[in-house]
Amino acid sequence: MAVLALLAAVALAAIFVWAAVAKLRAPARTSDSFRALHLPVPLLLSRVVPIVELVVAVLLLAVPALGAPMAFVLLVIFSAFLGAQLLGGNTAPCACFGQATASPLSSRELWRNLALACLAIIAWWGS
């Protein structure tokens, strides 16, 4: 079980790093996407969100017992927000992975987050 938890933590950390770096490489596009998704202070959040993602990635590797639950909570927050956007009819592209995500928001992001939350649970359970 420890090996599976470690693999889950490493995979999830890599995904959070990928998402953060993508946002940091295209801050204007990230801010525009956050604005289209009706987030408050999109410019500030376009800088804060990737930093939070990087912190969670580091914690997943350094202190999985702390990083895994933080990753899970972050994914729940992201999913609740995206679900609310979908229910409200907003399908603006999500900057979840920076420029790599240019398609309209759909339930696909929620399914992806569910899979990532499962990784967080596995990492948390094994930590």
Joined together, the tokens standing for residue 29 give 């596009």
Task: Find the domain containing 99 and state its range.
Answer: 2-125
Is the pLDDT reported for residue 49 higher than 90?
A: yes
Q: How many folded domains does the chain comprise?
A: 1
Where residue 99 falls among pLDDT bands split at 50, 70, 90? low
Closest CA to 97 of 39, 28, 10, 17: 17
Query: Across residues 16-44, what is the average pLDDT?
Result: 94
Query: Across residues 70-83, what is the average pLDDT?
Result: 97
> What is the distance, to the nearest Å, from the Cα of residue 45 to the centroid of all Cα atoms in its chain?
13
**How deeply is 88 buried, as exposed, middle or buried, from its count of CB atoms within 10 A (0-12, 13-18, 19+)?**
exposed
Is the pLDDT reported for residue 112 higher than 60?
A: yes
61 contacts 124 by C-beta, under 8 angstroms: no
Record the pTM. Answer: 0.93
Where residue 96 falls among pLDDT bands split at 50, 70, 90? confident
d(CA 59, CA 68): 8
Is the pLDDT reported for residue 95 higher than 60?
A: yes
